[in-house]
């Protein structure tokens, strides 16, 4: 069976790491990375000028702060942050998310700073 034909079990992948705010690449779809992350607390306000960003909550609860209001996501819900829209994610409890965005997208977008990290690939 080719590597691309192997199912990805999100629970198994999430059990492989505990680090917060560190994206882990679990699959590739054309030129897009499918990534998992665990969040708790508040991230940084940032913008992705060149791409939309799909965020799906796997477990926990996530608030996506936007300048014109908040979006609250429960497990199984997703939201697409449109390109160029400034946003900041907040998780009051540990929350697991899945992200879909073009390969090489910087997690902190235009903000940079100490929370900027390249995605690591999980095997």
Q: What is the pLDDT of residues 55-67, one digit of tens each?
A: 999 999 999 999 9
For residue 76, the domain's CATH number is: 2.60.120.10
The answer to whether residue 1 sits within a structural domain is: no
Whether residue 102 contacts residue 30, with contact meaning beta carbons closer than 8 Å, is answered with no
Collapsing DSSP to helix, strand or coil, 10 comes out as helix
Widest CA span of the chain, in angstroms?
47
The answer to whether residue 112 sits within a structural domain is: no
The answer to whether residue 117 sits within a structural domain is: no
Whether residue 89 contacts residue 63, with contact meaning beta carbons closer than 8 Å, is answered with yes
Token pair of 9, please? 């079990």
Query: Which band of pLDDT confidence, cut at 50, 70 and 90, is reported for residue 4?
Result: low
Q: How many residues does the chain have?
A: 123
Collapsing DSSP to helix, strand or coil, 5 comes out as helix
The answer to whether residue 33 sits within a structural domain is: yes
**What integer best gives the mean pLDDT of the chain?**
94
Residues 6+ apart with CB under 8 A from 84: 47, 48, 49
Average pLDDT value for residue range 60-80:
98
The answer to whether residue 115 sits within a structural domain is: no
The answer to whether residue 73 sits within a structural domain is: yes
**How many domains would you assign to the chain?**
1
Nearest CA among 46, 47, 12, 6 for reference residue 28: 6
Domain region containing 78: 7-103
Identify the weakest region by mean pLDDT among 4-8, 10-14, 67-71: 4-8
Average pLDDT value for residue range 92-118:
92
Query: Which band of pLDDT confidence, cut at 50, 70 and 90, is reported for residue 41?
Result: very high
């Amino acid at each position: 069976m080719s590597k691309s034909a192997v199912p990805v079990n999100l629970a198994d992948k999430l059990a492989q790491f505990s680090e917060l705010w560190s994206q882990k690449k679990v699959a590739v779809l054309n030129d897009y990375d499918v990534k998992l992350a665990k969040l708790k607390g508040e991230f940084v306000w940032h913008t992705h000028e060149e791409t939309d960003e799909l965020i799906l909550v796997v477990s926990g609860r996530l608030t996506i702060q936007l300048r014109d209001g908040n979006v609250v996501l429960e497990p199984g819900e997703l939201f697409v942050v449109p390109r160029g829209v400034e946003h900041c994610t907040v998780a009051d409890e540990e929350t697991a998310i899945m992200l879909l965005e073009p390969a090489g997208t910087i997690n902190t977008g235009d903000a940079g700073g100490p929370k900027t990290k390249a995605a690591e690939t999980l095997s």
